[in-house]
Chain A
Amino acid sequence: MAILKVNNLSKSFGNVKAVQGVNFEAAEGEVLSLLGPSGCGKTTTLRCIAGFENPDVGEIHLDNRKITTIPPEKRGIGMVFQNYALWPHMTVYGNLAFGLQIRKVPKDEITKKIKKVLGMVQLEGYENRYPRQMSGGQQQRIAMARALVFEPEIMLLDEPLSNLDAQLREEMRFEFTELQRKLGITAIYVTHDQAEALVISDKIVILDQGKIVQSGSPKEIYSSPKNKFVAGFIAVTSFIDGRIDSFTEEKKKVIVKTDDGLVIHGFNNSFDIGKKVSVAMRMNVIKFIQDENKSDKNTVNIFKGKIIQSSYLGNIIDYKIKVGNWEVRTKSDAKYNFKVGEEVTFYLSPEDIIVTREE
């Protein structure tokens, strides 16, 4: 298994700068996710690694081998495509055998290897099916098997699960992780689904407009997104912009003031006073207070707002609340049944608030 190093990679198409100075390293047996919105350069980065695009600048190393300019077929990299790209005129056996035949593997060994890899993806006995005779999920597994059967040192996956329905996608996430752990293969995984990235990755690289915005472990990224963009990508749904006003005595809590006079307490001491910041909140941060007299234990972070939208989702309700000039969202227990237009009081727990850079 191998270490992949990408150094200062840049690639433009005409005047579109698809990838600009990207650096990352995937350690042996690690899953590294490239995460970002549509058009941020994930596929382009992956295609440069696979050898389907020539980078304008930068180098790619697989272990100590510089692979930047060698043709794709000589790189020994397995690839899983978004649309699977199974060969429609070949059976599963044909699809899986192709790479082995090229490597002049003896026929009985090919059959054995195919049997083994089909076992790994839980499709024993599917050798004689054609791709069109299989469901999307099964095709996906065959695509995975095809990328693994010739035992590459590293595999690349471009949104491999994005064509599957939500439930199957979740199942396949776990299957992928299990298989990858078992084989110990290094994997570069492209996705625009943050939940997927958080579950499967050892390292996440967040891209925006061809540049890396932040990289780190899923935990790092989830708990301390570097700026509003990253936060917005990692399940943050509400933002209130303001400035650092002051710190509490032990410099533990930071106090943020907005232009319209809201005062919000949170935990983050990495900014200077006066710095423009954004208070980022996930769906679970806002807690309604129905009987104000009972909530004497909290003296800060209590706000009054007005419900401006409510969506009923069964056991939970998704509310949009107007507070000052801001709109925030929360998912709350259906026992709070507020009407649109109703005044509400809520509390923000400082531990769950993320104070992050505004841009």
Chain B
Amino acid sequence: MQKSVFRKTIEIIIFTVFIFFLFAPLLSLVIWSVALRWYWPHTLPQEIGFDYWLQALGITKSLTLGAVNVVPAFLLSLGIAIIVVIITMAIAIPAGYSLAKLKIPALLKGIILILFLLPRAFPQLPVFLNLMLMFNKIGLTGTVFGVILVHLVVGLVFAVWITASTFSSIPPELEEAARSVGATRLKAFFKVTLPISTPGLVASAVFVFLTSMDEFTGTFFVGLPFVTTLPMTLYTASGSNIQFASVIAILLLIPSILFMIVIQKFLKAEHLGGMGG
């Protein structure tokens, strides 16, 4: 009962986000990305074409458009995001479980949560500037590894919170029932708690993925000039070249939209799987 309310809430939130934050801007981005000539006061471009797209995807090369091949940046962002999701979830699942289910004294629990929250509690720029200075000393600036570390810090905050709240929304009796019929703590976790929390955990992973794909500030300080993720190229382009910036922005959105669709399907399937016996 509780679970389906939880699922519904997530679905509704995802949908609202989808409609309001994606569709409207997306339309304008799509138009901009194919606009070759678009002067005020026309509502639509006077001339359209895929020149910027071809350029950005590395299919054609021309010096006049001011666009560069962003495929390597895209793949780099995707790779970083996937690694970050894997590492984050590997940490967040046990951490969230411990916070939610183990008998940790309230004070200690508070301290742990605050530690996870701390990087977010201060203005981001000074935090990352500091991090950059630290990373400088140990030679991590300008490395992919350094950027992954930064994304982990950002992603873990959300992931631990979401997984902890997912696990604590599961009544403890479900695991206890498993133990009473003979399951060890580990078995009870893998056979009962984990399957029931899958939607929450997937939501958490998606969140981390999107955060990593989007991450700008930390990557800017720690990654540049050698690690150029997609948001970095977007930043460079956005000042001067709206068409090129729009292409990059859409590229950034594609994995997000795919993920949204996947999670939507997934939540539905989970739901229906339970309904149809």
Question: Shortest Cβ distance from B197 into chain A, in angstroms?
Answer: 10
A99 close to B176 (CB less than 8 A) = no
> B191 — which chain A residues lie within 8 A by C-beta?
98
B174 sits at the interface (CB 8 A)? yes
> What would 10 more interface pairs be, CB under 8 Å, given A73-B183, A132-B1?
A52-B176, A52-B179, A73-B182, A83-B173, A85-B173, A87-B178, A89-B196, A98-B178, A146-B177, A146-B181
Instruction: Considering the complex, give the chain A residue whose CB is closest to the CB of B194.
Output: A89
> A128 — which chain B residues lie within 8 A by C-beta?
277
A72 sits at the interface (CB 8 A)? yes
Q: For this complex, into which size category does the number of interface residues on chain A fall?
A: 20 to 34
Q: Give a binary string over B185-224; 1 marks a CB under 8 Å from any A CB, 0 the rest.
A: 1010001100110000000000000000000000000000
A129 close to B181 (CB less than 8 A) = no
- CB within 8 Å of A: which residues of B? 1, 3, 171, 173-174, 176-185, 187, 191-192, 195-196, 274-275, 277
A73 close to B184 (CB less than 8 A) = yes
Known: A79-B177, A83-B171, A85-B174. A130 touches B277 (CB 8 A): yes
A89 close to B195 (CB less than 8 A) = yes
Query: B1, B180, B182, B274: which has the most chain A beta carbons within 10 Å?
Result: B180
8 contacting pairs across A/B (C-beta < 8 A): A73-B179, A73-B180, A81-B173, A85-B173, A87-B196, A130-B275, A133-B275, A133-B277
A99 close to B195 (CB less than 8 A) = no
> A150 — which chain B residues lie within 8 A by C-beta?
181-182
How far apart are the CA atoms of A133 and B272 in the complex, in Å?
12
Question: Shortest Cβ distance from A44 into chain B, in angstroms?
Answer: 14
A37 sits at the interface (CB 8 A)? no
B181 close to A99 (CB less than 8 A) = yes
B180 close to A147 (CB less than 8 A) = yes
Q: Give a binary string over A60-85; 1 marks a CB under 8 Å from any B CB, 0 the rest.
A: 00000000000111001111010101
Instruction: Considering the complex, give the chain A residue whose CB is closest to the CB of B188.
Output: A73
A88 sits at the interface (CB 8 A)? yes
